[in-house]
Copies of this chain bind each other. A is one copy, B any other.
């Protein structure tokens, strides 16, 4: 299991980690198999979405913020219940196919770390299982 370091800079942020993941695939010589990208935090998540127009990333964050406002009638006293809900909706664990040393993604897909309660020093775990 390999760990990526993901520093975040704002309370809510989508960070493209595709290049970091590709670098690890090369570094460890992973060839063909299934890659698990796992977020070990409960106020963050991992998603796959458009890598071209950064407006898509802000639209995702803004839409989630409207649906699940930070200030609401929550029981949890740390003021980040919205981030926990978003974490469960977007999800902590994603699987991507690797073929001949390349991530198998659609043309417009990138892999994003979703920060919902930053800024923090975050981690992402990578697990690769060769076919």
Partner-contacting stretch, out of A5-13, A21-29, A77-85: A77-85
Q: A38-B97, A55-B76, A97-B38 are in contact. Are A85 and B106 (CB under 8 A)?
A: no
Query: Which residue of chain B has its CB nearest to the CB of A131?
Result: B129
Q: Is A93 an interface residue (CB 8 A)?
A: yes
Within 8 A of B (CB), among A1-55: 1, 33-34, 36, 38-42, 47-50, 53, 55
A55-B42 in contact (CB<8A): no
Q: A92-B109, A93-B48 are in contact. Are A104 and B63 (CB under 8 A)?
A: no
B96-A84 in contact (CB<8A): no
Copies of chain A in the complex: 3
Within 8 A of B (CB), among A82-128: 82, 84-85, 87-97, 99, 104-109, 125, 127
A96-B93 in contact (CB<8A): yes
- Complex CA–CA separation, A89 to B62 (angstroms): 14
- Chain B residues contacting A82 (CB-CB under 8 Å) are 63
Query: Which residue of chain B has its CB nearest to the CB of A98?
Result: B127
B108-A125 in contact (CB<8A): no
Interchain nearest-CB distance for A22 vs B (Å): 16
Further pairs besides A41-B108, A42-B48, A104-B125: 11, Cβ < 8 Å: A38-B95, A42-B56, A47-B91, A55-B74, A55-B75, A59-B75, A59-B81, A63-B74, A88-B90, A89-B90, A92-B94
